[in-house]
Amino acid sequence: MKIAIAQLNPTIGDITGNAKLILEAAQKAENLDAKLMITSELSLIGYPPRDLLIYPSLVEAAVTELEYLAKNLPSEIAVLVGTVTFNSQANETGEKSLFNSAALLGNGEVKQIFHKRLLPTYDVFDEQRYFEPGKTSDFFTLEIPGKTSESLTKIGVTICEDLWNDAEFWGRRNYACDPMKELAENQVDFVVNMSASPYRVGKQKLREAMLEHSTNRYQIPIIYVNQVGGNDDLIFDGCSVVFNKIGNAIYRASAFETNLAVVEFNPAKKDLIVTNFESLYLAESEDEEIWSALVLGVKDYLRKCGFSKVVLGLSGGIDSALVAAIATAALGKENVFTILMPSPYSSDHSVKDALELAENLGVAKQVIPIGDLMKSYDNSLQDLFAGTNFGIAEENIQSRIRGNLLMAISNKFGYLLLSTGNKSEMAVGYCTLYGDMNGGLAVISDVPKTRVYSLCHWLNQQAVNNNQNFYGAENLLITEQQNIIPENILTKAPSAELKEGQKDEDSLPSYEVLDDILYRLVEKCESLAEIIAAGHDSEVVNKVIKLVMRAEFKRRQAPPGLKISDRAFGTGWRMPIAKKSSW
């Protein structure tokens, strides 16, 4: 029996559009002789829907669309669709009114419904806010083509977190029940997992280690189908994978791309097999993985929010250089507009470096000097500021002039403004509210400064080696033996250039020290004592922690940023991307 894996890119709230994606995939799967197609978690409404779920009209539209989809699917294929369903007992029991569900569609109808049992509430997840957990772990049966009616395949259904509670693997139990264990006791032939697992650096290795452990432990194969695409700050990498019953990965879908593939269940071996073996490719480095995630995140953010072009300021520094390269790879050079806004404190090489970068990328550029604007502000404020020393207020005026100009261009032409601040700066508040923090998307706000350098070196290495086999390469002007990021941008000391001779390290620890402290504080949740015990100076650690606490307000005023690490510095809750179609 052939089973299709549909790694799709749904849009949150676009129920009609998502149903169309599922229908088109099912038609292709039928042409491949598949008898079952599996989609990802909440594939009909997109993940995460968050507070869209409080609108009954959305859920009612999902129910209607599900029935319509069932009637229009090819007759020879069954399809598992992720959706939401009403909890009919909620009013009597005081339970949540919705379930996170999987619907089995076939023969023109909704044949069976399965509910997610384990509802995560950590990191980016808040599912207990919306959903009631399912009470049982269940399966369905399909007749094996060419066999007698008694020859049925038992297929266990799990949804995302349902597989993430193996006490033997994690060393502890996080939930009261273990759906995988219960399905094994029901002697299912294989298990499907419909997932919407957000990307995190190195997460695929963890997923696969967990799936390998489960298949080894229970001798039951697993088909793991993950969503792909960007939805606001979250990026989904796909990487759907199939493990046979002895724990070998026999298929892996492409990362960061939609995909449709077929595997086969062999009833004699009670195992999943792949006839045309596909290379099990994973990114060669973390830099390549992160680059791909950021390019996809920018591409999908614009597409799903209805933008086609971006504008950003080029300072001649490494942060704006990386953002410009990511935007070009995501959107194409014709859709990226860069603005250089030199002040009297901008060095000659910064302007030269920015112009060289724009040339290397092939993007449009405009130079708007801000010296005269600065003088106008000085004249307006001279009486009020008389008798005071030049300081942060005057420095920030420059950044706010630039932010105002960029927002004017964004408003005038309908371009999305990309902000260019990195995670290290955002964490400690080394940025200007209503200045360089202006924008609609903070592309690298979850990328530490040391990783910014690493990504730029990696990108240049691809260009020097004339390697065009990486995500978005087709949109970059790659010339053999030529860097994309100018060498001087990589080697000069980082500076905001808001006053004479300014360097970042005049105000901050070295970025190597700062990023390690932030990693321990934010992502590993280490205490002050633990960070100091790791070898950091206590005075420096205390300074960084105070800066982080003081910067919280700024971070909450920042645009949403693409999330690539376990714990990003949050920018506050935002309405998720949603396309209100029939609901």
Single-letter residue type at 450: T
Strand 416-419 relative to strand 441-442, pairing: parallel
DSSP track, 43-71: TTT-S--GGGGG-HHHHHHHHHHHHHHHH
Alpha helix positions (H), 219-317: 286-305
The answer to whether residue 30 is catalytic is no
- Residues 96, 116, 309, 423: which is the catalytic one? 116
DSSP track, 369-409: --HHHHHHHHHHHHHHHTT----HHHHHHHHHHHHHHHHHH
The CB density around residue 568, as the number of other CB atoms within 10 Å, is 23
- Residues 30, 35, 65, 160: which is the catalytic one? 160
The answer to whether residue 41 is catalytic is yes
- Residues 30, 35, 41, 425: which is the catalytic one? 41
Helix, strand, coil % in the chain, rounded to nearest 5 = 40, 20, 40
The answer to whether residue 177 is catalytic is no
Strand 336-340 relative to strand 310-314, pairing: parallel
DSSP helix/strand/coil, 559: coil
Residue carrying structure tokens 């919280």: 552
Question: Nearest CA to 142 among 252, 218, 43, 34?
Answer: 34
Close Cβ partners of 566 (under 8 Å, ≥ 6 residues apart): 123, 200, 523
- In angstroms and rounded to an integer, the radius of gyration of the C-alpha atoms of the chain is 26
Sort 469 into a burial class: Cβ within 10 Å, 0-12 / 13-18 / 19+: exposed
DSSP track, 193-217: EEE--B--TTHHHHHHHHHHHHHHH
Single-letter residue type at 124: V
Tokens linked to 188: 């299912």
DSSP helix/strand/coil, 237: strand
Question: Nearest CA to 432 among 424, 443, 421, 441?
Answer: 421
- Per the DSSP assignment, residues forming a β-bridge with 190 are 155
- Per the DSSP assignment, residues forming a β-bridge with 2 are 34, 264
Single-letter residue type at 403: G
State the Cα–Cα distance between residues 558 and 575, nearest whole angstrom.
15
Residue carrying structure tokens 């700066």: 425
Question: Nearest CA to 11 among 3, 2, 1, 22?
Answer: 22
Question: Nearest CA to 259 among 487, 430, 38?
Answer: 38
Question: Nearest CA to 25 among 73, 70, 63, 93?
Answer: 73
Active-site residue list:
41, 116, 160
